[in-house]
Chains A and B, each alone.
Chain A
Amino acid sequence: SQQGEEDPQALSIQEGENATMNCSYKTSINNLQWYRQNSGRGLVHLILIRSNEREKHSGRLRVTLDTSKKSSSLLITASRAADTASYFCATDAGESQGNLIFGKGTKLSVKP
């Protein structure tokens, strides 16, 4: 069954604004990953946060993980038009290597 659920399904903001996307999941995890997908392209890994971590940063990206609520958030600060893409969370429950369970994604549109 589907593990991750992103919220919102779509988000439209102006350049320079921050974008926050949320992800909820159902079972215990080893780690949670965020990926970006540009239109017509494959997914690109952005950041991985382990179950014993609460927050992680990478450039303009900030990811939080709350295992008690089974939720994660991805914050993109000072967004750019090039950030326009779909963003997916994926959970690794560790049952099978690489068997990530993806959510349906948040479609982010950043207007110049």
Chain B
Amino acid sequence: DTAVSQTPKYLVTQMGNDKSIKCEQNLGHDTMYWYKQDSKKFLKIMFSYNNKELIINETVPNRFSPKSPDKAHLNLHINSLELGDSAVYFCASSQMGSPLHFGNGTRLTVT
């Protein structure tokens, strides 16, 4: 029983393409997140989202957009991919005030 699952695990694509990463959590948490981990292992929040509020890190380009069809899902859409978007993207979820539960990541490689 995977608590936070994201697909695909690996994504290789060319510059300029549009891609999506899917995330689902079965923990009943009310908040979901997307984090980006760069090649130096630095982890940075991109978005947090619950039913009421989307909080966007102001440094995230508007080519990135989260879409939540329901409370258990938060997908990440990326338009016009650039070389610098190559990274590992992690989905996570939590209940208010509790630690985060992470998925196993999606390694995105833009060529």
Task: Find out whether the CB atom of A100 lies under 8 angstroms from the CB atom of B45.
Answer: yes
Asked whether any CB of chain A lies closer than 8 Å to the CB of B86, the reply is no
Are B41 and A98 touching (Cβ within 8 A)?
A: no
Given A2-B42, A42-B105, answer yes or no on A97-B100 (Cβ-Cβ < 8 Å): no
Interface string of B35-64 (1 = CB under 8 A from A): 000001111110010100001000000000
Q: How far is the CA of A57 from the CA of B7 in the complex (A)?
A: 35
Closest approach, in angstroms, between the C-beta of B99 and any C-beta of chain A?
4
Is there a chain B Cβ closer than 8 Å to A111's Cβ? no
Overall SS of chain A's interface:
strand
Determine the chain A residues whose CB is within 8 A of the CB of B94 once the complex forms. 97-98
Are A43 and B42 in contact, CB atoms less than 8 angstroms apart? no
**Chain A interface residues (CB < 8 Å from chain B):** 2, 33, 35, 37, 40-45, 48, 86, 88, 96-102, 104-105
B residues with CB within 8 A of A: 4, 31, 33, 40-45, 48, 50, 55, 90, 92, 94, 96-97, 99-105
